[in-house]
Amino acid sequence: MNLAPLAAGLAIGLGAIGPGIAIGLLAAKGLEAIGRNPEAAPVIQTNMILAIVFAEAIAIYALVVALLLKFV
């Protein structure tokens, strides 16, 4: 019995939960900060996008692990 597809599905599924929650929280807090201080919007937006990119990198690592489990 080959459990590699199940392991790959669990790897990407569980590996995407954390970054998904993090991106949602980052966007919510960033928009809240922009609403409180609209003059600082460009700086807040730049930092928010950078943080989202770092959170998304973790999901990409989970995808790589899932692909390795599936095809290797």
Reported confidence tier of residue 1, pLDDT bands at 50, 70, 90: confident
pLDDT at position 72 is 85
Contact indicator for 52, 23 with CB cutoff of 8 Å: yes
Would you call 2 exposed, middle or buried from its count of C-beta atoms within 10 A (0-12, 13-18, 19+)? Answer: exposed
Encoding tokens for residue 70? 């599936």
Helices 41-71 & 4-36 angle (0-180, nearest 10): 180
Q: The pTM is what?
A: 0.81
pLDDT in tens, 23-66: 999 999 999 999 999 999 999 999 999 999 999 999 999 999 99
Tell me the C-alpha to C-alpha distance, in Å, between residue 53 and each of 13, 18, 50, 56: 19, 13, 5, 5
